Amino acid sequence: MNATPTPAQDFLLSVEDLTVSFDGFKAVNGVNFYVDPNEIRVIIGPNGAGKTTVLDLICGRTRATAGSIRFRGRELTRMSESDIVLAGVGRKFQNPSIYDDLTVFENLEISFPRGRSVWGALRFRRDAEVRDRIHEVAEMIFLKEHLQARAEFLSHGQKQWLEIGMLLIQDPELLMLDEPVAGMSVSERKKTAELLNRIIRNRSVLVIEHDMKFVEDIAHRVTVLHQGKVLSEGSMEHVKNDPKVVEVYLGH
């Protein structure tokens, strides 16, 4: 679509010829896309299109069979998951992934970007900077009153917010969100959209979402995946009117 030949360094994230096969089945097949700094990119596509797998590949959860993922000029495909995080990529999972046995405060504290080595964790002190930041974020994610509660007692929506809060504390340059409003009530959904709109400033965001209203609200550009390949890419308007997309996705 925007296939102007730009040197890769100008993009925050460039995904090129990305392919992964599970026992011969190519879940992601030669995918290319580029994300600019501060861009909000939404990936849509029918079930099984390979959306979550693309996020898994970027954050190192799944290893690519072929292709390259460059983030600020660094090749991610050969880095460990934790190094990818340290490079500035954050990931929210589809199901809320938080620590049930810890308090909300402790959940957030673990994501605080300091003391992430074994010795660092042993020496880590809960100083004023840590506490202030946690309180600040807790306020943003509507959990200020619940800081000392064990996370397992939160509602589904609150758990999603907590995980978003953990990513906020982590402060990644590229934030990846997998269906952040799935399974939420209408009011929770509205609050989440508001929250997301606030936190996606000053960073690039890669979102998988089914809620078209939500997508239209936030997306700068949309990438449509279908059967592991990029079907269409561009503005929401462009994608909506692309006959290929209408055929496989919106037409259903």
Interface residues toward other proteins, by CB under 8 A: 22-23, 27, 53, 59, 61-62, 80-82, 85-86, 90-91, 93, 97-102, 106-107, 109-111, 113, 115-118, 121-124, 126, 131, 163, 166, 170
Residue that is written with structure tokens 């939160």 in the block:
154
Question: Shortest distance, CB of residue 160 to other proteins, whole angstroms?
Answer: 13
Question: Shortest distance, CB of residue 118 to other proteins, whole angstroms?
Answer: 5
Question: Shortest distance, CB of residue 244 to other proteins, whole angstroms?
Answer: 26
Question: Shortest distance, CB of residue 29 to other proteins, whole angstroms?
Answer: 14
Which residue lies nearer to other proteins by CB, 50 or 67?
A: 50
Question: Shortest distance, CB of residue 46 to other proteins, whole angstroms?
Answer: 17
232 exposure class (CB count in 10 Å sphere: 0-12, 13-18, 19+): buried
* 174-178: strand order across its sheet: 89-92, 174-178, 204-208, 40-44, 221-226, 229-234
Which residue lies nearer to other proteins by CB, 110 or 248?
A: 110
Question: Shortest distance, CB of residue 2 to other proteins, whole angstroms?
Answer: 30
Which residue lies nearer to other proteins by CB, 166 or 195?
A: 166
Which residue lies nearer to other proteins by CB, 26 or 220?
A: 26
Angle, CA of 118, 122 and 125, to the nearest 5°: 130
Which residue lies nearer to other proteins by CB, 26 or 238?
A: 26
Which residue lies nearer to other proteins by CB, 199 or 245?
A: 199
Q: What b/e readout covers 169-195, taking b as 16+ CB neighbours within 10 angstroms?
A: bbbbbbbbbbbbbeebeeebbebbbeb
Residue that is written with structure tokens 């994300």 in the block:
35
